[in-house]
Structure 1
Amino acid sequence: MTITYKNTPVFYSTKGTGNPLVLLHGFLESHKIWLPFTDKLSSERQVILIDLPGHGQSGTLSDVHNMELMAEVVREVLNNIGISEASIAGHSMGGYVSLAFYEKFPTMVKALALINSTSEEDSEERKFNRDRAISLVQKNKRSFVSMAISNLLTKKNDQKFKGELNILKEEGQKLTENSITAALKGMKIRTNKTELLAQFKGQKIIVAGQKDPVMSFNSVKRVAKKTNSTLKTFPDGHLSFIENEADLLEIMLLID
């Protein structure tokens, strides 16, 4: 299904009934990453999948897709469906959007699950790397997308899940240069949400890969402890929805 927000199409799908769970994808991804989970989850509750701005079948809204703008898009979808409260699980960038959503619309959030994500802002080094990435996208988008997705796994898993990664890369290549850079700029300027997460009284789950090449495991552990969140760990990288699909599903079935 598609709604229009600020003259721009936003894609979403919904399946199941009761106790809504919103699933948000990460950077260069789309709602399709959650399709292997949808049947099982929707047998117990309503599951809403959304293509965030500039991703999947949703259009580009701005030169900068900050997390707050993406959160507004999520609210617009929920309002359109008629949902006033939902649990939210987000992978990587989707986790950043989940926290921005809670900050803007606190009464609408029942539970939060950050999957391969964090409440912390970018380090100075990470911000520098975002700028480098923007430059690379403008020079050679195809090369950037392929490299960026391959860098999310350990070398071993990069080969083990080659087929799954190729599908991800194909989806990523469909994104425009503008949509990719808009997300990079938005992630770069996001603010620290650790205190906000600590104040949240609902269920809080953080899923982390011990060998995540782009998300410091020790940093995520520190966030989980500081925010009193339940930490679930896997021995692999940044794409738990691929590397640890069955075990991640079991965790997602526990979300309130």
Structure 2
Amino acid sequence: MEVDKRLTENFIYYKDTNIAFYQYGNPKGKAVVWLHGFLEDSRMWKYLIDDLPVSLRHIFIDLPGFGNSQCIAYVHTMEEMAEVVMRVLKELKVKKAALIGHSMGGYVALAFGEKYPETVRSMCLLHSTAAADTPEKIQNRNRGIELAKKNSELFAKTTFKGLFADWAHEQFAELIDEQAEIAGKTVVQGIVAALEGMKIRPDRTVLLHFAPFEIYHIAGDEDPVFKGQSLLEQFQAPKVRSYIIKAGHMSHIENRPELLKVLREFFKSL
């Protein structure tokens, strides 16, 4: 895939596979790790890069099976992906980092925070949840696996376009189509491995109450995946700061100004 010219591209070798990651900003600054969502890769963050503080060291990782990173196994558990994040940090000699995770990337961030709490400076969960999948959600994942095996491009494009608020489809039609094309190129094994991994992830809501680091949580008021108000109830914990903004599941496209406003607060807290 074509790499954004503003980024420095790097690879690590993990379990006989290449894992891609990209850097932006000050190599000596505090590290911020960006974790993309399902059917995305590091290119999702391109809409925000020009507004990110260059004093920080931004690290964008292509999770296994997405972007320029290869698949590791038939199932990519959130714990396995968290281990990939740790390997990247060790490669870069980063001892402490802030994590920003979008949707599935949030699941990975929580798995990382559970396993390596001493490495986390703070965490921002963007359109994500600490709860495990419901039985209904697991059924949907299983259907998604079967559909992806039959026609991965159609499944990916259709699923991706369903992540936006109704009003966003007209307002951001060109951007949505552009990103849906990227989603459609995701390899079928990357799709299946992520779905298999997400459906078996454990409930990590306890981490919201006992984590030794601060957690920011951003939800969309019209998120078709998660209901904003129900998520607020889940994230009512002493060390959690919750925000609801006007958006569906993809605020980096739907409401960049309001998302950046919250992220600036997050950066100031580092």
Q: TM-score, normalised by structure 1?
A: 0.96
Question: For each residue in 1:90-114, what CA deviation from the matched residue of structure 2 results, as whole angstroms up to 9, or x when unmatched?
Answer: 0000000000001111110010100
Q: Residue 175 of structure 1: CA displacement? A: 1.2
Q: Name 1:61's counterpart in structure 2.
A: 72
Structure 1 runs (4+) deviating above 3 angstroms are none
2:225 to 190, 214, 226: 214
> Does 2:146 match 1:135?
yes
Counting only pairs closer than 5 Å after superposition, residues 1-256 of structure 1 correspond to structure 2 as: 1-17=10-26, 18-226=29-237, 228-255=239-266, 256=270
Q: Distance in 2 between matches of 1:42 and 1:50?
A: 18
Maintained 8 Å contact 1:38/1:47: no
**SS at 1:2's partner residue?**
strand
Q: Can you give the 5+ residue segments of structure 1 that lack an aligned partner in the other structure?
A: none
Q: Distance in 1 between matches of 2:138 and 2:115?
A: 24
Question: For each residue in 1:192-249, what CA deviation from the matched residue of structure 2 results, as whole angstroms up to 9, or x when unmatched?
Answer: 1110121113221100011101112232111111464111111220001111112212
Structure with the bigger percentage of helix:
1
Number of residue-to-residue matches in the alignment: 256
Q: Distance in 2 between matches of 1:227 and 1:191?
A: 22
Q: What code does the residue aligned with 1:202 have? A: F
Q: Can you give the 5+ residue segments of structure 2 that lack an aligned partner in the other structure?
A: 1-9
Q: Residue 141 of structure 1: CA displacement? A: 1.3
**SS at 1:44's partner residue?**
coil
- Residue identity over aligned pairs, in percent, reads 37
Maintained 8 Å contact 2:127/2:220: yes
Q: Residue 3 of structure 1: CA displacement? A: 1.2
